[in-house]
């Protein structure tokens, strides 16, 4: 937090923000009110984020929730229409604060999408999930897609893609897992789930030895299905339409449902869906 923002957070400001939050007003409503009172937008955003984060942390301590981790975050102060991602400009299509969900357009070109699909096609097998009771991977009936993993930087297009994600989200390349490519045929889906590893499961300590906890996900659409196949966030009634080259980013600062990061892949109703998923860890993933 900057010195200027710290100076602005008086007890009266802190209490006003807390009262408005308890009354159910969204951060956007609070921001507009502060701007109408003469606040500069960047200062108001920084103060709001600091106070609301403090409120969430206090609630978490009261509820004995897991401690929060630092998470990847794009530079969205000032509501930019575009961001520079390593070697290309991407558009910011949508941004939601709670849960943190951001949709980007043009993270991959059409040709890059086609190249990744082609490289992945020969290595597809029934998709697995991590079994946190043992730490091993397993076929899960909730996930009816085919998939494969690239190692980090395995092909030039993968390395370029990973560099863009790192630059866009201000997160080290080495803290990312390898890209997973998934192929959904008509009727295939991935039922709502969390991407973090449940700390209550006995296999989680084994999984966390490589990079620690997951803190964010980037799902990039490699084609546009004819119907269906959206990415859903049931806790907030949100569904992202899968469009070729677009990506949805979401973060979760602790392994707990309070992050409202429950999400799923809706059934493909017509055509097929290809996605590339990138999970980001709190530490280096080797």
DSSP-derived letter for residue 213 is S
Which residue reads 């109703």 in tokens? Answer: 269
Q: Where are the domains of the chain?
A: 3-62, 82-281
Determine the pLDDT at residue 4: 47
Which architecture, in CATH terms, is 82-281?
A: Sandwich (2.60)
Write down the pTM of the prediction.
0.77
Residue showing tokens 């403090």: 54
Residue appearing with tokens 């969390």: 194
Torsion of the alpha carbons at 101, 232, 257 and 172, rounded to the nearest 10: -40
- Residue 65: per-residue pLDDT: 79
Q: Label each residue of 22-58 as H, E or C.
A: HCCCCHHHHHHHHHHCCCCHHHHHHHHHHHHHHHHHH
Q: Which of 253, 250, 210 is nearest to 71 (CA)?
A: 253
List helix spans (H) across 100-181.
110-121, 156-169
Taking the C-alpha atoms of residue 219 and residue 221, their distance in angstroms, rounded to an integer, is 7
H helices of the chain, in order, are 3-8, 11-22, 27-36, 41-62, 110-121, 156-169, 204-207
Residue 221's pLDDT is 98
How far is the CA of 95 from the CAs of 69, 80, 81, 215, in angstroms?
21, 11, 11, 18
Tens digit of pLDDT per residue, the chain (286 long)?
Answer: 454 455 578 999 999 999 998 888 888 899 999 999 999 998 999 999 889 888 877 766 666 678 899 999 999 999 999 999 999 999 999 999 999 999 999 999 999 999 999 999 989 986 656 665 655 555 556 557 899 999 999 999 999 999 999 999 999 999 999 999 999 999 999 999 999 999 999 999 999 999 999 999 999 999 999 999 999 999 999 999 999 999 999 999 999 999 999 999 999 999 999 999 999 999 999 9
23 CB neighbour count, 10 Å cutoff: 8
Cα gap 30→48, rounded to integer Å: 8
User: Cis (ω within 30 of 0) for the bond into 40?
Assistant: no
Residue with tokens 């009261």: 62
Q: What is the C-alpha to C-alpha distance for residues 54 and 14, in angstroms, rounded to an integer?
A: 10
């Amino acid at each position: 937090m900057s010195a200027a923002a710290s100076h602005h957070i008086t007890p009266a400001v802190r209490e006003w923000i807390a009262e408005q939050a308890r009354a159910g007003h969204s951060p956007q409503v609070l921001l507009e009110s502060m701007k109408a009172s003469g606040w500069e937008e960047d200062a108001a955003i920084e103060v709001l984020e600091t106070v609301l984060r403090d409120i969430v942390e206090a609630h978490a301590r009261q509820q004995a929730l897991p401690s929060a981790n630092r998470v990847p975050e794009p530079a969205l102060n000032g509501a930019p229409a575009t961001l520079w991602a390593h070697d290309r400009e991407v558009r910011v299509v949508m941004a939601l604060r709670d849960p943190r969900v951001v949709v980007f357009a043009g993270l991959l070109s059409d040709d890059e999408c086609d190249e990744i699909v082609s490289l992945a096609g020969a290595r597809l097998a029934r998709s697995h999930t991590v079994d946190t009771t043992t730490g091993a991977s397993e076929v899960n009936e909730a996930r009816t897609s085919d998939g494969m993993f690239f190692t980090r930087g395995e092909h030039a297009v993968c390395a370029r893609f990973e560099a863009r994600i790192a630059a866009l989200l201000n997160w080290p390349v080495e803290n990312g897992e390898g890209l997973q490519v998934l192929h959904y045929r008509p009727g295939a889906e991935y039922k709502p789930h969390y991407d973090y590893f449940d700390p209550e499961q006995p296999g989680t300590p084994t999984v966390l030895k490589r990079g620690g906890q997951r803190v964010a996900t980037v799902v990039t659409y490699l084609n546009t299905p004819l119907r269906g196949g959206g990415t859903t966030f049931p806790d907030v009634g949100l569904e992202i339409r899968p469009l070729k080259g677009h990506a949805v980013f979401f973060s979760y600062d602790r392994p707990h449902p309070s992050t409202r990061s429950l999400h799923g892949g809706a059934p493909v109703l017509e055509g097929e869906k290809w996605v590339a998923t990138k999970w980001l860890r709190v530490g280096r993933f080797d």
